[in-house]
Structure 1
Amino acid sequence: MTLTTDHPSIPPRRIGVLLINLGTPDDATPRAVRRYLGEFLSDRRVVEIPGLIWQPILRGIILNTRPKKSAHAYAQVWRDDGSPLAAITEAQATALAGAFGPDVIVDWAMRYGRPAIADRLAALKAQGCERILLAPLYPQYCAATTATANDKAFVALAGMRWQPAVRTLPPYHDDPAYIGALKDMIEAELAALDFSPQALVASFHGMPQRTLELGDPYHCHCAKTARLLSDALGRELMLAFQSRFGRAKWLEPATDATLAALPGKGVTRVAIVAPGFAADCLETLEELAIRGRQTFLDAGGTDFAYLPCLNDSAIGIAMLKSILSRELAGWNAPA
């Protein structure tokens, strides 16, 4: 009997790192935004309302009214290379290429929209990645961000016959590398301003108050980031939460209300930073830098500055390399 050796070739063993961020529509049109919001707002991690109640509201009201308004907002921040969030996340992955050795492949994906997590995991596996670090780029843990990104990856893994070994990036809200990077970026941006802010606001994405009551550590993580950053900068930060949606009570104080109230308290010069975002996106570039500015000026403010996220800056990439190297330790990836 003759034994054959015909079988699919097995690629060299490699390690994968998958950067994951929230997501974005494919373009700034109501149709694309409707498709994106349909996926995003159907996630039970995001909207914790029974589907029989929520889906008629989503399909019958929200997806027929919100996409046009959101598309207009996206159009104000859209870049020549597409969505800011997608373009910056891709740039982060590109900047990290080769940072962990020749056998470590860095890729990126979006929880909602494209490139899809399942597609990029399959691509990493096809390139021989037998070990993959899932890296949701959320410094503060939240079930509606970190957990749902991991959920989506685990669903993809469930369909694989030959699964890679997997690790997940833990929250890094109090990591010295993260706090230090924020400090250095903020100090550089403040030094470049033509005015001296009387107040520095740290705005985090909001979540319903109910999530805190159910045990989600997000609020505590945001508060600790703000406290550590305030200590590092040697100046007080005002903690606030943005992006309220619906009628439920959300985490407070609200960013828009905070900005509107400051001039009445004699604070007419302000700078705002968004430490919970790894990359600038609609919520920072449109909601804070455009609408937040207008809210502050309309209330009597005179000077306003939005300080950018770490993005793919040298400071930001060095921070990502530091925390990712730590999680890759023991997988034969150099620190």
Structure 2
Amino acid sequence: MNSTTSPNARIGVLLVNLGTPDSPNTPDVRRYLNEFLTDGRVVDMPAAIRYPLFQGLVVPLRAPKSAKIYKELWTERGSPLLFHGLDLQKKVQAELGERYVVAFGMRYQKPSIEKALEELRAAEVERIIVLPLFPQYASASTGSVQEKVMDIVKDWWVVPSISFISQFATDPGFIATIVARGRAEMAKHDYDHIVFSYHGIPERHVKKGDPTNYCRFGSCCDTLTPQNQYCYRAQCFATSRLVAEGLGIGPEQYTVAFQSRLQSRLRDPWLQPYTDEVLKEYPAKGIHNVLAFSPAFVADCLETTIEVGEEFKEMFEEAGGKHWQLVPSLNSEPQWVDAVAEMIRRN
């Protein structure tokens, strides 16, 4: 707490996740993809190229295909990313108590960040702590949320103090919760290998965030330093190292890989190795039982449940693998609620 905060002041908390369509129907998926893929921090092309390309070609072609996948993901409660986010908000609110006002918003679509910020403004909070629910910082995720928040509050006549928790890749509570989830799965089955699969980003995004030219996409990511503290790749490796230590496994027993790339490697290199390529090589190396983590995501979503949990499992089995198991996301598990509340208190 800073020295200007009065003992009775209410503190606003804004939890933010990426976003989800209102429904798995094609028109709603199209609206979501339009907003997501025309964000200049997600697709860093000039607007004059980005909007015609994605609104006129990419999104119309992709929306019907994505809608089919979203229908597989949808539940009776709707989108997992949404209802797990709302559950987390309620539980964190209960944990923090009346002095805090906790709101939840999505960077794309509903509930919007603007609506969530209005809730906090109406509650007359003295300051706001923003926690984008992305463990590792990337300009396309956390950076986009930060930009959106500041773009909204710049029009407020009175702007309260606002602080951001920009990353929590090595947060003890976050790591401990993942370790606990992993141990629960390891108690059910013996595994030959573990893969940590993170959402990929273009290599150029990493380079653009490296003004000192420290990045070499190699051993420079083996430790976190002041020079690479906001390097997405380095943070992914740091998360993996800490989880592996918690599980009691050595470097030779796990792989860090990246998924969900949009373009081909030849045209536009993304962070490597690629999960879908790595897993196909495992059976030939004698690795037939794999436990998969998705530590870039804190809630079930298309990239975890469908991509890692189903599509990668099918690829692995077709290559000769026997058992592929996805570790469940943190969602609103009690230990994760405690970790989030503790991060808020510390900030």
What's the TM-score once normalised by structure 1's chain length?
A: 0.91
Q: 1:56 to 1:170 in 2, by over 3 A?
A: closer
Q: How does 1:152-171 map onto structure 2 within 5 Å?
A: 152-171=148-167
Displacement after TM superposition at 1:100 (Å): 2.0
Equivalent of residue 135 in structure 1, options 117, 120, 131: 131
Q: How does 1:155-304 map onto structure 2 within 5 Å?
A: 155-191=151-187, 193=188, 195-214=189-208, 215=210, 217-235=231-249, 236-247=253-264, 248-304=268-324
| C-alpha separation in 1, matches of 2:237 and 2:9 | 41
The one-letter code sitting in structure 2 at the alignment partner of 1:320 is V
| C-alpha separation in 1, matches of 2:55 and 2:98 | 47
SS of aligned partner of 2:96: coil
Displacement after TM superposition at 1:179 (Å): 1.6
| C-alpha separation in 2, matches of 1:212 and 1:121 | 30
Q: 1:27-78: CA deviations, max 9, x gaps?
A: 0011111100100011111001112222222122111110011111111111
Q: Does the alignment pair 1:312 with 2:332?
A: yes
Which consecutive aligned stretches of 4+ in structure 1 deviate over 6 angstroms post-superposition?
none
The one-letter code sitting in structure 2 at the alignment partner of 1:234 is G
| C-alpha separation in 1, matches of 2:94 and 2:126 | 18
Displacement after TM superposition at 1:13 (Å): 4.6
Q: How does 1:141-152 map onto structure 2 within 5 Å?
A: 141-152=137-148
Q: 1:101-125: CA deviations, max 9, x gaps?
A: 3121111000001011011101111
Q: How does 1:107-122 map onto structure 2 within 5 Å?
A: 107-122=103-118
Percent identity between matched residues is 35
| C-alpha separation in 1, matches of 2:168 and 2:314 | 32
Displacement after TM superposition at 1:177 (Å): 2.0
| C-alpha separation in 1, matches of 2:319 and 2:263 | 24
Equivalent of residue 58 in structure 1, options 41, 46, 54: 54
The one-letter code sitting in structure 1 at the alignment partner of 2:40 is R
SS of aligned partner of 1:138: coil
Aligned alpha-carbon RMSD (Å): 1.3
Maintained 8 Å contact 2:36/2:42: yes
Match of 1:6 in 2: none
Maintained 8 Å contact 1:131/1:164: yes
The one-letter code sitting in structure 2 at the alignment partner of 1:239 is V
| C-alpha separation in 2, matches of 1:183 and 1:17 | 26
SS of aligned partner of 2:311: helix
| C-alpha separation in 1, matches of 2:97 and 2:90 | 14
| C-alpha separation in 2, matches of 1:307 and 1:185 | 7
| C-alpha separation in 2, matches of 1:59 and 1:243 | 20
| C-alpha separation in 2, matches of 1:132 and 1:97 | 14
Maintained 8 Å contact 1:130/1:163: no
Maintained 8 Å contact 2:95/2:338: no
Q: How does 1:32-111 map onto structure 2 within 5 Å?
A: 32-111=28-107
Maintained 8 Å contact 2:298/2:331: yes
- The count of residues paired between Structure 1 and Structure 2 equals 314
Q: 1:255-310: CA deviations, max 9, x gaps?
A: 11111111121111111011111111110011111101111111111111111111
SS of aligned partner of 2:198: strand
Which stretches in structure 2 are left out of the alignment for 5+ residues? 1-7, 211-229
Maintained 8 Å contact 2:103/2:119: no
The one-letter code sitting in structure 1 at the alignment partner of 2:179 is K
Maintained 8 Å contact 1:131/1:166: yes
The one-letter code sitting in structure 1 at the alignment partner of 2:247 is L
Maintained 8 Å contact 1:98/1:104: no
The one-letter code sitting in structure 2 at the alignment partner of 1:196 is D
SS of aligned partner of 1:280: coil
| C-alpha separation in 2, matches of 1:98 and 1:83 | 23
Maintained 8 Å contact 1:185/1:315: no
| Range 253-262 or range 97-106, more displaced | 97-106
